[in-house]
Amino acid sequence: MTHPLKPRTILETHEVTNQPEERGDLDLWQDDPVFRHYAGLFGADQDDLASFGATLGREEMRDAGRTANRCLPELHVFDRSGRRIDEVHFHPAYHQLMETGLAAGYAARPWEGRPGGHATHAGMVYIQNQVEPGVACPMTMTYAAVPALRHNPALAAEWTPRLLSRRYDKASRPAPEKAGATIGMAMTEKQGGSDVRSNSTVATPEGDVWRLRGHKWFCSAPMCDAFLTLAQAPGGLTCFLVPRWTPDGERNAFQIMRLKDKLGNRANASSEIEYHDALAWQLGDEGRGVKTIVEMVHHTRLDTAMAPAGLMRAALSEAHWWVLGRSAFQRRLIDQPLMRAVLADLVLEWEATTALGLRVAHSFDGDSETDRAFARIGVAIAKFLSNKRCPNFVYEAMEILGGVGYVEESPMPMLYREAPLNSIWEGSGNVIALDVLRALAREPLAGEVLVAELDTARGVDPRYDAELDATLARWPAAPPEAEARWYAERMAVLLQASILLRHAPDAVADAFVATRISRDRGDVIGALSMGDVSGIIERIG
């Protein structure tokens, strides 16, 4: 009989004790009752998520995530003979994760015609971010490009089947020769940042195609097969699709200047690029570039609203594993009242974030005007608050592990570096808060469906009713610009409370209302009094 090799615990100077057992394989679906509850409630395909959660939870896949973060992408501008190739090389672990995610339907599932596609996709975002968030970027953009491509039916007919193939093809060659394709995005320029209307990249018509010339300060995933980008055409800012290879099989004039040395998201090769009269195809009407590409941005924002829930779950799961297997001052950490208060407070934040993200994803699956209106404003509100909460959440979970959580052998540093990203990507805090105001001003139905959603929880808890009345009295319409962050935060908290009051256990809903609505708490996580928190902590699984 063979036995698994185990590390030595009796060493020359001491015996290793008071350490949790190694985690081994996890099941990121079955071990997560909160996720299973809200995924089912909001129409996600539970079989798809069960399969993906079991696969990514394996120790092998978690090791691949760590390797992809440690062995960073490498830029190869020239080949050995000095010819320009502009390629990025990745560790095999990166390709393994990409292959697994795309095969599971991360990009394709919402567009395959089966119910619950966007909610299922959001669940996959949640799972993926627990293991390795960097590969989520190209998969998210591939998912989100599909509705934008519809602005050019000919391009959509050619490219959409490639994006939905569920096959990952890492080869650098023309898209028609590949088993599947991915799509990236290049919008940001130095002088404008989020103000894309100030972009200076120039588009010049040449028969049925265009030539782009200019610089992009950020281009995500430069090994994608094509990129949605904005450039100034004679008729104004216009959206284009730029392939890495031209139809005649030549490398397009798409030059990678450097890879960004980022705080986090390190497995993903974010880059700085230049177009040197690169071939491009027009996507949407000339001069309507923002309106065209916002279709893509709207869907990537769903992922940035859901990703922090996955990061929170990963951090909380590590903290919970630690306190179950660690003792201090003659008691297990999990049994100590102050630690239980911290854990319970973290659970409330994570459950509320997960519930809101999946509720918003459910509205993406709807086809009514009210569904679309709620998706429009709900995704911005969820993205705003969930990402503002995430960095401090991960820090508090890291602190539970003490010094062990601060070293790279733990997943906590990767999670902590990742925590600020989704607040910055696809519109930082101020941009998103202003987008909430824009939705209220331009789409009257957005404000109506938001209030209607909040009204569904009336009568369940008088504290919630009183806070909702006070909020609506203060802001009967859109708030002044200077109060946009305050408004977005408060509406997000009320949305979270409304979902929990209707769908969470009483212990969770009551504690959330007491601490987030009535504000019966201090300013830091765990600075509260909730009595017996067993019913909250058991939500961790």
Q: What are 49-75's pLDDT values in tens digits?
A: 999 999 999 999 999 999 999 999 999
Query: What does the alpha-carbon distance between residue 302 and residue 360 come to, in Å, rounded to a whole number?
Result: 8
One domain for residues 394 and 489: yes
Domain boundary among 287, 319, 347: 287
| ∠ CA 369-498-362, rounded to 5° | 40
Give the single-character DSSP code of 540: G
One domain for residues 129 and 231: yes
Whether residue 2 lies inside any domain: the answer is no
Domain with 196 in it: what CATH number?
2.40.110.20
Q: Provide the pLDDT for residue 340.
A: 98
pLDDT, tens only, 248-268:
999 999 999 999 999 999 999
Phi, psi of 336 (to 5 degrees): -85, 125
Phi, psi of 404 (to 5 degrees): -60, -35
Give residue for tokens 């009967």.
476
pLDDT, tens only, 492-527:
999 999 999 999 999 999 999 999 999 999 999 999
One domain for residues 472 and 499: yes
Q: Provide the pLDDT for residue 194.
A: 79
One domain for residues 263 and 363: no
pLDDT, tens only, 12-34:
999 999 999 999 999 999 999 99
Q: Is the pLDDT of residue 432 over 70?
A: yes
Give the single-character DSSP code of 84: E
pLDDT, tens only, 295-335:
999 999 999 999 999 999 999 999 999 999 999 999 999 99
Token pair listed for 115: 């119910």
Whether residue 508 lies inside any domain: the answer is yes
One domain for residues 301 and 422: yes
- Residue 193 banded pLDDT, cuts 50, 70, 90: confident
Q: Provide the pLDDT for residue 191.
A: 87
One domain for residues 315 and 461: yes
Domain boundary among 287, 308, 334: 287
Query: What does the alpha-carbon distance between residue 510 and residue 530 come to, in Å, rounded to a whole number?
Result: 9
Whether residue 12 lies inside any domain: the answer is no
In this structure, the number of other CB atoms found within 10 A of the CB of residue 260 comes to 16
Q: How many domains does the chain have?
A: 2
Q: Provide the pLDDT for residue 4.
A: 61
Q: Is the pLDDT of residue 86 over 90?
A: yes
Overall average pLDDT of the 235-251 stretch: 97
Q: Is the pLDDT of residue 384 over 70?
A: yes
pLDDT, tens only, 100-157:
999 999 999 999 999 999 999 999 999 999 999 999 999 999 999 999 999 999 999 9
One domain for residues 375 and 494: yes
Start-end of H helices in 270-336:
289-325
One domain for residues 274 and 357: no
One domain for residues 429 and 282: no
**What are the residues whose beta carbons fall under 8 Å from the beta carbon of 247, sequence distance 6 or more?**
174
One domain for residues 392 and 429: yes
Q: Provide the pLDDT for residue 196.
A: 83
Query: How many Å is the maximal CA-CA distance in the chain?
Result: 79
> 328 or 5: whose pLDDT is higher?
328
Query: What does the alpha-carbon distance between residue 42 and residue 40 come to, in Å, rounded to a whole number?
Result: 6
- Residue 163 banded pLDDT, cuts 50, 70, 90: very high
Q: Average pLDDT over the chain, rounded to whole? A: 96
pLDDT, tens only, 29-47:
999 999 999 999 999 999 9
User: What's the whole-model pTM score?
Assistant: 0.97
Helix and strand numbers, DSSP H then E, in the chain: 18, 11
Q: Name beta bridge partners: 282.
A: 240
- Residue 198 banded pLDDT, cuts 50, 70, 90: confident
Q: Is the pLDDT of residue 1 over 50?
A: no
Q: Provide the pLDDT for residue 246.
A: 97
Q: Provide the pLDDT for residue 88.
A: 98
Give residue for tokens 């705080």.
263
pLDDT, tens only, 442-473:
988 999 999 999 999 999 999 999 999 999 99
Whether residue 490 lies inside any domain: the answer is yes
Q: Provide the pLDDT for residue 186.
A: 94
One domain for residues 82 and 154: yes
Give residue for tokens 């969770």.
508
Token pair listed for 4: 């698994």
**Strands, E assignment, 152-270:** 183-186, 202-206, 209-220, 226-233, 236-243, 254-259
Q: Which residues of 225-235 are buried (b: 16+ CB within 10 A; e: fewer)?
A: bbbbbbbbbee
**Strands, E assignment, 221-345:** 226-233, 236-243, 254-259, 271-283, 327-328, 331-332
Whether residue 14 lies inside any domain: the answer is no
One domain for residues 119 and 245: yes
Token pair listed for 185: 């995005």
Give residue for tokens 């991960």.
394
Q: Which residues of 66-76 are buried (b: 16+ CB within 10 A; e: fewer)?
A: bbbbeebbeee
Domain boundary among 287, 313, 345: 287
Domain that holds residue 238: 33-287
Q: Provide the pLDDT for residue 3.
A: 56
